[in-house]
């Protein structure tokens, strides 16, 4: 059974139980009050009649015997019956089945002794009162009314409550149906949106915001947040897969060239045993050079793989002097063809990995050596936001179309900055900067060279 139907039946059931309790309470109250009202009326009539009889004299005794009038079997009007002390009827304003009301002798005796009494007999409620007159004597006056009055009241009230209860149940069912539909509308929309996302795979769909601050709004916000997370995860996954595909394709392409050269030279040495010593030496030298190229490529690939794995691991971080690292890199670069100049204070300290930062600076200097002219300036400074490292060369610069891709893996420009290498150095530099929660950028200087800027927190 759907939730909407369950909520509707719950509403009908709750309303029915409430109505039953309400009806029972009303009937109890009406039963008590109706009987009490009847008794009060009869007692008042009996008291008035007894008072009137006590004032009669012997000369008016004959005047209290009027003709008999209404019958209690067909009328619900209250009536008076007057008895003497022997129980004989002296006067009556109503009869039962054509005869005056006959009171049991015990009621007559009790009334004469106690002064008052009540009795239900022959479908009539009766209240008696003792009267006494000097001219007439002593007797009993009875005020009576048919019980059909209360039965008719209960019957009318019962029909009213039945009709009212039926209308209330129908109204409750209709109200519960529409209220449940309104309350569950966001859930239906959630189900429809989920089905559409499942069928179409469109993670851009979202539930409309809910104005009320309730559980439905919390569910809507949670669903939208979940879809945001899934969409971001899928986008990141797609980008990662595309990056891995390009990485594997580029790595395969880069490895194919040295392997082809090694295979060709090895085949030459095997097939041409009569080749000259010079040719054999050239082939051997080419094999060694291509093996070195492959070794460097594999080392770079391993470095990138480790950087990907350790992107969130900073267990090896410690306070390091970035200026001291720059000077040590300068000493290592003395054997290069590029002139390296370090501009830095004595102490520029930040948290990081000394080995990674040294590798980062060496990549920038090596990049300048390969592509950036004959000199490079390595500047290290401290700012309010952190530490900056800049490597500026005097080379030909970078084409504008290549600036956005210069840090991509295996990207190499086809212009003057092309040369030896595989396009992995700057990708490694970016991964090191990102591992330190920093950033790396490159711009062309006014003098024509390129300036790489690293900002570390």
Q: Name the class of domain 215-305.
A: mainly alpha
**Tokens linked to 402:** 């290549």
pLDDT number for residue 100:
83
pLDDT averaged per 10 residues in sequence order, the chain, 457 residues: 70 80 77 72 79 64 47 75 85 81 87 87 85 81 83 77 83 80 74 81 77 77 86 80 71 74 86 83 86 76 65 74 88 82 85 86 83 82 85 81 74 51 75 85 82 87
**Nearest partner of 207 among 216, 188, 218, 220, judged by Cα:** 220
The owner of tokens 């190229």 is: 293
Instruction: Show me where the domains of the chain are located.
Output: 3-154, 215-305, 316-456
pLDDT number for residue 55:
67
Give ∠ CA 315-320-326 in degrees, rounded to 5: 125
The owner of tokens 């690939």 is: 301
Rg (CA), the chain: 56
Long-range contacts of 105-112 (CB under 8 A, 24+ apart): 107/140, 108/83, 108/140, 111/140, 112/85, 112/138, 112/140
Fold of 316-456: Heat Shock Protein 90 (3.30.565)
Handedness of CA 189, 194, 198, 200 (dihedral sign): positive
Domain range 3-154, CATH architecture: 2-Layer Sandwich (3.30)
């Amino acid at each position: 059974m759907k939730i909407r139907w369950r909520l509707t039946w719950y509403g009908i059931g709750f309303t029915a139980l409430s109505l039953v309790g309400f009806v029972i309470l009303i009937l109890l109250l009406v039963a008590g009050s109706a009987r009490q009202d009847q008794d009060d009326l009869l007692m008042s009539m009996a008291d008035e009649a007894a008072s009137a009889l006590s004032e009669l004299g012997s000369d008016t005794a004959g005047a209290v015997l009027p003709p008999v009038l209404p019958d209690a079997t067909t009328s619900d009007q209250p009536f008076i019956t007057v008895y003497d002390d022997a129980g004989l009827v002296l006067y009556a304003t109503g009869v039962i089945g054509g005869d005056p009301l006959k009171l049991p002798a015990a009621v007559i005796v009790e009334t004469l002794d106690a002064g008052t009494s009540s009795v239900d007999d022959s479908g009539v409620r009766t209240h008696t009162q003792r009267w006494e007159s000097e001219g007439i004597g002593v007797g009993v006056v009875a005020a009576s009314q048919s019980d059909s009055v209360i039965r008719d009241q209960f019957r009318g009230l019962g029909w009213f409550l039945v009709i009212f209860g039926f209308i209330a149940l129908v109204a409750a069912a209709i109200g519960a149906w529409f209220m449940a539909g309104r309350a569950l509308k966001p859930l239906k929309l959630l189900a429809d949106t989920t089905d559409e996302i499942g069928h179409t795979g469109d993670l851009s769909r979202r539930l409309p915001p809910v104005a009320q601050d309730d559980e439905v709004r919390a569910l809507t916000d949670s669903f939208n947040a979940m879809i945001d997370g899934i969409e971001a995860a899928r986008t990141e996954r797609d980008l990662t897969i595309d990056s891995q595909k390009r990485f594997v394709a580029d790595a395969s392409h880069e490895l194919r060239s040295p392997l082809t050269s090694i295979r060709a030279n090895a085949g030459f040495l095997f097939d041409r045993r009569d080749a000259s010593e010079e040719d054999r030496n050239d082939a051997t030298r080419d094999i060694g050079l291509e093996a070195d190229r492959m070794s460097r490529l594999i080392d770079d690939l391993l470095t990138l793989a480790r950087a990907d794995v350790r992107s969130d691991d900073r267990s090896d971080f410690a306070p390091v002097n970035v200026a001291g690292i720059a000077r040590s890199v300068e000493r290592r670069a003395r054997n290069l063809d590029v002139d390296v100049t370090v501009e830095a204070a004595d102490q520029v300290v930040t948290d990081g990995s000394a080995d990674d930062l040294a590798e980062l600076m060496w990549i920038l200097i090596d990049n300048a050596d390969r592509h950036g002219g004959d000199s490079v300036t390595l500047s290290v400074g401290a700012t309010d936001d952190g530490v900056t490292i800049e490597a500026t060369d005097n080379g030909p610069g970078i084409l504008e179309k290549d600036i956005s891709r210069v840090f991509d893996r295996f990207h190499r420009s086809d212009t003057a900055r092309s040369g030896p290498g595989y396009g992995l150095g700057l990708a490694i530099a970016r991964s090191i900067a990102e591992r330190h929660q920093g950033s790396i950028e490159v711009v062309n200087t006014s003098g024509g060279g390129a300036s790489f800027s690293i900002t570390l927190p």
